[in-house]
Amino acid sequence: MASFRKEILGQIERIDVGRIFTFRDLSFDTEKTANVAVLLSEQSRKGVLVRIEKGAYYRPKKSVLGLGKLPVYQDEQFRYLTEKLDGYITGAYVYNKMGLTEQVATTITIATPYPVRRFRFKNLDVECVKAYYTNYSDESLIPYLRLLDAIKDMKRIPGTTGQDIYNRVKSQYFSGYSLPELEKIVSLAKSYPPRVRKTVADILGDIRQTVLQTEMAKTILPTTRFNLDYKTA
């Protein structure tokens, strides 16, 4: 038992300070799960670990100023939540980082195939929305998905109008994309609602990408009518 304890503690020591981990990050036989749970609980009581929620812990960083334990870093909280919910960060928090709104969000939004009710995690208010494209294991796709999310949410982004978002998305993003990037946007947009596809088609028309505009427009029923909050160029 002593050697098993030493092995688990050694694995924990090799996990980066501040990184949230769960049972899945430790290597042990399944029948030892209860023993590991007891060990983690013991280390939490001693202050060696900090318990985030059931089965989730991190090794706290000590302050060089003698202030004791520091909180989990925000990016580490985001990493843990997105992995747990099988999603990615989107919404107003990201739109502010993208330069689409000056307002700072108080809620973190996660797009996931399996949305759950709004909840609080440590110091974060978290809400979930539906992810329209779910094969985002390739992280290089996430910036494009966030852009399409912004188009989807253009009526609801705080401190802006639909015309603001249309103009900013077009000038700050679409106008600077290469043809392969625009083709990728069109491919991803096909998973989104008709209104998003319509807006993408309009932007492509404005930047004179008529071939891609036509490809996007073909995904929309000719009889579909939209109440748009913007005007094209």
Q: CA-to-CA distance for 82 and 137, rounded, in angstroms?
A: 12
Say which residue, 60 or 168, is predicted with more confidence. 168
Whether the pLDDT of residue 68 is over 80: the answer is no
Assess if residue 53 is contained within a domain. Answer: yes
Assess if residue 66 is contained within a domain. Answer: no
Instruction: Name every residue whose Cβ is closer than 8 Å to that of residue 129 and which is 6 or more positions away in sequence.
Output: 90, 91, 109, 110, 111, 112, 115
Assess if residue 230 is contained within a domain. Answer: no
Residue where one domain finishes, among candidates 59, 89, 105: 59
DSSP state of 135: -
Per-residue pLDDT of 29-64, as tens digits, reads 999 999 999 999 999 988 899 999 999 999 988 766
CA distances from 88 to 31, 149, 218 (A): 33, 11, 29
Assess if residue 174 is contained within a domain. Answer: yes
Q: Say how many C-beta atoms besides its own lie within 10 A of residue 158's C-beta.
A: 12
On whether both 46 and 104 belong to a single domain, the answer is no
pLDDT for res 70: 66
Assess if residue 65 is contained within a domain. Answer: no
Say which residue, 73 or 198, is predicted with more confidence. 198
On whether both 204 and 135 belong to a single domain, the answer is yes
Assess if residue 228 is contained within a domain. Answer: no
Radius of gyration of the chain from its Cα atoms, rounded to whole angstroms: 23
On whether both 102 and 172 belong to a single domain, the answer is yes
On whether both 115 and 185 belong to a single domain, the answer is yes
Q: What is the total count of domains within the chain?
A: 2
On whether both 55 and 146 belong to a single domain, the answer is no
Question: Interhelix angle for 162-172 vs 194-206, to 10°?
Answer: 50
The pTM is what?
A: 0.81
Mean pLDDT throughout 99-127? 93
Whether the pLDDT of residue 71 is over 80: the answer is no
On whether both 126 and 190 belong to a single domain, the answer is yes
Assess if residue 233 is contained within a domain. Answer: no
Whether the pLDDT of residue 120 is over 80: the answer is yes
Q: CA-to-CA distance for 200 and 161, rounded, in angstroms?
A: 17
Instruction: Order the strands of the 107-112 sheet from edge to edge.
Output: 88-90, 107-112, 124-130, 119-121
On whether both 157 and 187 belong to a single domain, the answer is yes
Q: CA-to-CA distance for 27 and 42, rounded, in angstroms?
A: 18
On whether both 104 and 49 belong to a single domain, the answer is no
Alpha-helical (H) ranges within the chain are 2-13, 33-46, 74-85, 92-97, 142-152, 162-172, 179-189, 194-206, 210-217
Which of 7, 26, 5 shows the shortest CA–CA distance to 15? 26
On whether both 51 and 88 belong to a single domain, the answer is no
On whether both 16 and 129 belong to a single domain, the answer is no
On whether both 97 and 199 belong to a single domain, the answer is yes
Instruction: Name every residue whose Cβ is closer than 8 Å to that of residue 52 and which is 6 or more positions away in sequence.
Output: 20, 58, 72, 80, 122
On whether both 87 and 166 belong to a single domain, the answer is yes
Q: Whole domain around residue 15: which residue ranges?
A: 4-59
Full DSSP string of 54-69: TTEEEPPPBPTTS--B
Instruction: Name every residue whose Cβ is closer than 8 Å to that of residue 152 and which is 6 or more positions away in sequence.
Output: 132, 192, 193, 195, 196
Assess if residue 121 is contained within a domain. Answer: yes
Using DSSP, how many helices (H) and how many strands (E) does the chain show? 9, 7
